[in-house]
């Protein structure tokens, strides 16, 4: 599973956030409730690879130096995402906050 597939699924489900963390299956937040995605738990190496795949060199350096990095990422035609990538006790992790391409009206 790659990061674009996870983000596509997350947006299709109407979630506000996608959480990926080593040792657990991915999670999505829908209407404030956290739900597990029905896929296998990912290990540190898999999560680390998903995160590094979308980072540029400056973001990778920041992540290595500070064990976290905040940046944005866009899947054209889907949405933009605010990303917080970090290292925790189980290993690599990241939270992707969905920023819709179309701004909703009040």
pLDDT tens-digit readout, 13-59: 999 999 999 999 999 999 999 999 999 999 999 999 999 999 999 99
pLDDT tens-digit readout, 54-101: 999 999 999 999 999 999 999 988 899 999 999 999 999 999 999 976
For the chain, the three-class secondary structure string (H helix, E strand, C coil) is CCHHHHHHHHHHCCCCEEEEECCECCEEEECCEEEECCCCCECHHHHHHHHHHHCCHHHHHHHHHHCEEEEEEEECCCEEEEEEEEEECCEEEEEEEEEECCCCCC
Q: What is the pTM of this model?
A: 0.91
């Amino acid at each position: 599973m790659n990061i674009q597939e996870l983000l596509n699924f997350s947006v299709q489900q109407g979630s506000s956030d996608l959480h990926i963390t080593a040792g657990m299956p991915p999670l999505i937040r829908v209407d404030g409730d956290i739900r597990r995605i029905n896929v296998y738990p990912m290990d540190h190496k898999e999560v680390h690879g998903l995160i590094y795949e979308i980072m540029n060199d400056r973001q990778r350096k920041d992540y290595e130096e500070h064990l976290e990095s905040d940046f944005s990422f866009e899947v054209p035609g889907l949405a933009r995402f605010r990303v917080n990538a970090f290292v925790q006790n189980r290993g690599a992790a990241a939270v992707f906050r969905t920023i819709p391409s179309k701004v909703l009206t009040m």
